[in-house]
Amino acid sequence: MQKIKMSNPTNLTLNQAFEMYLKKCKVRNLSDKTILSYKQINKRFFDFCDPRKRVHTITEETIDDYVLWLRDDVRIKDVTINTYLRTLRAFLYYCMDCGYMESFKIQLCKIEKPIKQTYSDEELERLLEKPNLRKCTFAEYKTWVFENYLLATANRIRTALNVRICDIDFSSGFIVLRKTKNRKQQVIPLSESLSAILQEYLEIRGGEPEDYLFCNDYGKQSAVRTYQQLVHNYNIKHNVNKTSCHLFRHTFAKHWIINGGDIFRLQKIMGHSTLDMTKEYVTLFGNDLQIDFERFNPLDTIKNHEHEGTHISMRKGR
């Protein structure tokens, strides 16, 4: 990035510039939740650096000192530090583009990304075993349906809880996702297995087309925390210590990859804006691609079809 030479640095303080940045975020129609997260995360930088400090005095060395302060004094892990840096640099890059400060590149910390945790096949067998409808409670049954839904769609929990009954198109085999993380509507396939489960569920549950598919006890939209607790209780009851709803998303991606699904369709189904995040799944689950590798590797398959006992005589060298 080419540096901007400023002959007349602005007298804006960090706090003033940040207020202007938030105003721009509102103009861009970013969600209230996103703007709130910007405030909360950048507050950490203002704990380190006085918000009355002039914007033009912020340098690359300031950011380096901030990272060391987070790591050594506050004892924050590098993964979280990178989250802070991504949010901070969006603000500072805005200041640079506006000419409030000289431009420099803000580097993220180099870290080893851990393998994303997933549900094992054995754990899925326990969780997906259908409960006895004559003996189980409706809460247990709807949690079973919910976990089937998460595994079959790779939806984030907030997206799943915003799906209405009318968004499920059984005849065409699609689900319309109207509320997603990037605020873009999606249409994803509805698998035959999930279709059968949802049709039975709706026969038992009832409801109007505009009702939420997974609602609270009063038929209204449920809080995320409610279904997180339902999943937690259900999993523990079935001897599965992993209780995260998001793990179903990771599990979907892992099985898609090792079963030979293409990365472009995976990107669309998971709602990633770019391929970068989708490629992470391919990298993180790369070791699982070794499973049955010889069955699909062309060299191994060709060699297995060769006739046994075929030899080539080679002339001996001197």
Residues 91 and 130 grouped into a single domain? no
Q: Which domain holds residue 228?
A: 121-293
DSSP assigned state of 227: H
Residues 6+ apart with CB under 8 A from 244: 117, 231
Residues 175 and 39 grouped into a single domain? no
Last residue within a domain, chosen from 65, 97, 129: 97
Domain count, the chain: 2
Query: Rounded to two decimals, what is the model's pTM?
Result: 0.68
pLDDT at 165: 96
- Average per-residue pLDDT in the chain? 86
Rounding to the nearest 10 degrees, give the CA dihedral for residues 214, 242, 83, 48.
Answer: 110
Could you give phi then psi for residue 143, rounded to 5 degrees? -70, -40
Question: Model confidence over 140-177: pLDDT tens digits?
Answer: 999 999 999 999 999 999 999 999 999 999 999 999 99
Count other Cβ atoms within 10 Å, centred on residue 166: 12
Residues 269 and 130 grouped into a single domain? yes
Q: How far is the first Cα of the chain from the last one, in angstroms, to the nearest whole number?
A: 63
Question: Model confidence over 246-279: pLDDT tens digits?
Answer: 999 999 988 888 887 888 888 888 888 787 777 7
Residues 140 and 288 grouped into a single domain? yes
Residues 92 and 129 grouped into a single domain? no
Residues 143 and 84 grouped into a single domain? no
Give the model's confidence band at 289: pLDDT under 50 very low, under 70 low, under 90 confident, else very high.
low
Q: Does residue 208 form part of some domain?
A: yes
pLDDT at 69: 95
Domain with 133 in it: what CATH number? 1.10.443.10
H helix intervals, 116-245:
121-128, 138-153, 157-161, 192-205, 224-237
Domain with 18 in it: what CATH number? 1.10.150.130
Cβ-count burial 104-123 (b if 16+ within 10 Å, e if not):
bebeeeeeeeeebebbeeeb
